[in-house]
A and B are shown apart, each in its own frame.
Chain A
Amino acid sequence: MKKNTYWKKNIQYISILLSIWFLVSFGCGILFVEQLNTIQIGGFKLGFWFAQQGSIYTFVAIIFTYIFLMNRLDAKLKKDN
């Protein structure tokens, strides 16, 4: 694998993961909070839940996904060189 490919792959991962980051916090937690609040799951209105719980869980998941993807990419780079 070329160095360039490594960097491009990395940028691709970052773009996808940051879109999810934006979607759960600014999207679900702020911009569309009222629409989502019409849906209630258990005691939680969905928009409120995203703003105070869901977004934080997703952030943790995003970072661990990135760790996994990059470790795999690093290993591949090492093997190819």
Chain B
Amino acid sequence: MELQYWIWIAVGLSFSLYIGIAIWSRAASTKEFYVAGGGVHPIANGMATAADWMSAASFISMAGIISFSGYDGSVYLMGWTGGYVLLALLLAPYLRKFGKFTVPDFIGDRYYSNTARSVAVFCALIVSFTYIAGQMRGVGVVFSRYLEVDIVTGVLIGMGIVLFYAVLGGMKGITYTQVAQYCVLIFAFMVPAVFISFLVTGNVVPQLGFGGTDSDGVYLLDKLDGLHKELGFHEYTSGSKSLFDVFCITMALMVGTAGLPHVIVRFFTVKKVSDARKSAGWALLFIAILYTTAPAIAVFSRTNLIETVSDKPYEQMPYWFEKWETTGLLGFNDKNSDGLIQYTADAATNELDVDVDIMVLANPEIADLPNWVIALLAAGALAAALSTAAGLLLVISSAVSHDLLKKMVMPNISDKGELIAARIAATAAVCLAGYFGINPPGFVAATVALAFGLAASSFFPAIVLGIFSKRINKQGAISGMLVGVSLMLFYMLKFKFGWFGGGTKADWWFGISPEGFGTIAMLANFVVTLSVTALTPAPSKEIQQLVENIRKP
């Protein structure tokens, strides 16, 4: 059957599934809208968290990024999984015990102050908006690449679907569609991976395959190191970044993961404290399936690519080469006009431009897999982008309707009124996200990675200290969050956007990249919080009792 039909079938079926779930799981109260009624099974919540967490970037781009950076790509693998250990041990169980709806809820109550609540709302909104614009863009890109519609139509279709199930079902609708989306995306990711692993190494488990040998009996990684050396790239299995920077980036990503509001709220949806721990475990297990496969795909496709193109005549390239050339993901420029493709690390002689996304998207074609696998990949990429967008949307709408409206502006609003406000806020947020998806501001790509720095420097210290110390007071927490976020924003604006005089790599403080600076900003937050607390009075007995209560199972 034609590829195009397969794709329409895969996308159509998966979308009708999401819509069906949305109709079945309409939210009738704010508790259902914000936390799915609080009775989600830990394994279902684990799947939903995994889908919530794995975005279009994890699904489409991560394997490619690792493929091009080798060992340096490990920062994403460790950073985006290690954060779950912090979540499970330091945050999730206690926040579940606290038992409210949002992260600003906790900050506002624990630090008995609406100023603290407002700072938290502000941080939640910046973090979520920088993140969601990228997701809507991802939806548009997938549509335009696979379904031959333009990006605007793609974004509009994506907005329509998310709007339907997020506005109708709130967290309840989102949770159960995310469960379905996890199944779609993991299946779509694993099928080509298993095929390719078997083709290249004879081992069906990709995680083992990439430590195995190819048909000539040479270890794949040794071979790749050799190829890299020949072409002038740094050795695949060792790094090119400074050790200190790698350390800082990994830490910022881990702590940022644990501080992202759309991930944290998922743990409010389970029934009891022990379920919060369990679902963190399941979530990481489900995420680990993709995250341990990605580096294997990276190695297979990197080796495949180099062997297929390096010093080969352009005329003899397989059919997929031309196809991906037309999409702009591959570009060949015969600089020395010898008809051969020179792929090297030196920009002056290199003739091939490769986009990172191609490593996952073109995999099925490179390995000559059947058309339905390609269709599956399109459905999987859409599932990854939509599920993350929906999770973020909920954080934005609850920040507005619950934290701002109910807790600060109109405390007397009825449950029904708040529910209507939540739906209006969600609709407005989808439209805004869609607008940014269609007209992406140049800063989106640069700031998604930095959203982690912002989350690390604002929420993480305030929440962890709020649980593990009874002495921390509002003066400490508020000044800590403000210093952390301002420092992070300053560094990001200075070195990413050239504000405040700008600066180059040589000017980085202690050689830390903006991506890794979240670690320093977080430390600054800790130091400021602790010092200001030491100089100001302890919180009241009631607050200390609240902390005491959170700690009980």
The residues of A with any CB-CB pair to B shorter than 8 Å are: 3, 6-7, 10, 14, 17-18, 21, 25-26, 29-31, 33-34, 37, 41-45, 48-49, 51-53, 55-57, 59-60, 62-64, 66-67, 70-71, 74, 77
Docked-complex contact B211 and A26, CB < 8 angstroms? no
Among A3, A18, A45, A70, point to the contact of B237 (Cβ < 8 A). A45
- Cβ A67 vs Cβ B277 within 8 A: yes
| Known contacts A37-B238, A59-B85, then 4 further A-B pairs from the complex at CB < 8 Å, ordered by chain A residue | A52-B295, A60-B288, A62-B89, A77-B553
Say whether B221 contacts A48, CB under 8 Å: yes
Q: Which of A26, A37, A57, A67 has the most CB of B within 10 A?
A: A67
Taken residue by residue from 71 to 82, chain B's Cβ proximity to chain A (1 for < 8 Å, 0 otherwise) reads as 101100110011
Q: Decide if A56 touches B219 in the complex (CB within 8 Å).
A: no
Q: Given A48-B221, A71-B274 in contact, is the A43-B212 Cβ separation under 8 Å?
A: yes
Is the beta-carbon distance between A30 and B291 smaller than 8 angstroms? no
Is B177 interfacial (CB-CB < 8 Å)? no
Residue among A29, A44, A63, A71 facing the most chain B CB atoms (10 A cut-off): A63
| A48 lies within 8 A of B81 (CB) | no
Does A43 contact B219, Cβ atoms closer than 8 Å? yes
Interface residues of B in 72-112 (CB under 8 A from A): 73-74, 77-78, 81-82, 84-85, 88-90, 93
Interface residues of B (CB under 8 A from A): 66, 71, 73-74, 77-78, 81-82, 84-85, 88-90, 93, 207, 210-213, 219-222, 237-239, 243, 246-247, 250-251, 254, 274, 277-278, 280-281, 284-285, 288, 291-292, 295, 551-553
List residues of chain B with CB within 8 A of the CB of A57: 288, 292
Return chain A residues, CB-CB under 8 Å to B250: 25-26, 29-30
A2 to chain B, nearest CB (A): 12
| B277, B292, B553: the one within 8 Å of A66 (CB) | B277
A62 to B212, CA, bound (A): 27
A sample of 25 cross-chain residue pairs with beta-carbon separation below 8 angstroms, ordered by A number, consists of A3-B552, A6-B552, A25-B250, A25-B254, A26-B247, A31-B243, A31-B247, A33-B238, A37-B237, A43-B210, A44-B211, A45-B221, A49-B211, A52-B66, A52-B292, A52-B295, A55-B77, A55-B78, A56-B77, A56-B78, A57-B292, A60-B284, A60-B288, A63-B277, A70-B93
Whether the Cβ atoms of A48 and B284 lie closer than 8 Å is: no
Docked pose: A31 CA to B248 CA in angstroms: 12
B81 cross-chain contacts in A, Cβ below 8 A: 55-56, 59
Taking a contact as CB atoms under 8 Å apart, the answer to whether B247 and A48 are in contact is no
- Tell me the smallest distance from the CB of A32 to a CB of chain B, in Å: 10
Nearest-CB distance from B286 to chain A (Å)?
Answer: 10
Q: Which of A21, A30, A53, A70 is close to B292, meaning CB atoms less than 8 Å apart?
A: A53
Find out whether the CB atom of A63 lies under 8 angstroms from the CB atom of B237. no
Distance of A58 from chain B, by nearest CB (Å)? 9
Would you call the interface of chain A mostly helix, strand, loop, or mixed? Answer: helix
A43 contacts across to B, CB distance below 8 A: 210-213, 219-222
CB–CB B74/A52 < 8 A? yes
Q: Which residues of A contact B84 (CB under 8 A)?
A: 59, 63
Question: Complex Cα distance A21/B285, Å?
Answer: 16
Nearest Cβ on chain B to A31's Cβ, whole angstroms: 7
Chain A contacts for B552, CB-based, 8 A: 3, 6
Report B225 CB to chain A, min CB distance, Å: 9
Query: In the bound complex, what is the Cα–Cα distance between A26 and B288 (angstroms)?
Result: 18
State the CA gap A26–B5 with chains docked (Å).
Answer: 47
Asked if A62 and B85 sit within 8 Å, CB to CB, the answer is yes
CA separation between A41 and B208, bound complex, in Å?
12
Question: Are B551 and A34 neighbours in the complex by a CB distance under 8 Å?
Answer: no
| Chain A positions within 8 Å of B277 at CB level | 63, 66-67, 70
Question: Is B288 a contact partner of A59 (Cβ separation < 8 A)?
Answer: yes
Contact B292 A56 (CB under 8 A): yes
Are B77 and A18 touching (Cβ within 8 A)?
no
Q: Are B238 and A18 in contact (CB under 8 A)?
A: no
How many angstroms between the C-alpha atoms of A3 and B239 in the bound complex? Answer: 48
Least CB separation from B225: chain A residue: A45
Among B66, B210, B254, B281, the residue within 8 A (CB) of A63 is B281
**Alpha-carbon gap, A50 to B105, bound state (A):** 38
Q: A18 to nearest B CB, angstroms?
A: 7
Expressed in whole angstroms, the minimum distance between the Cβ of A63 and any Cβ of chain B is 4
Is the Cβ of B89 less than 8 Å from the Cβ of A56? no
Chain A residues with Cβ below 8 Å from B237 are: 37, 45, 48
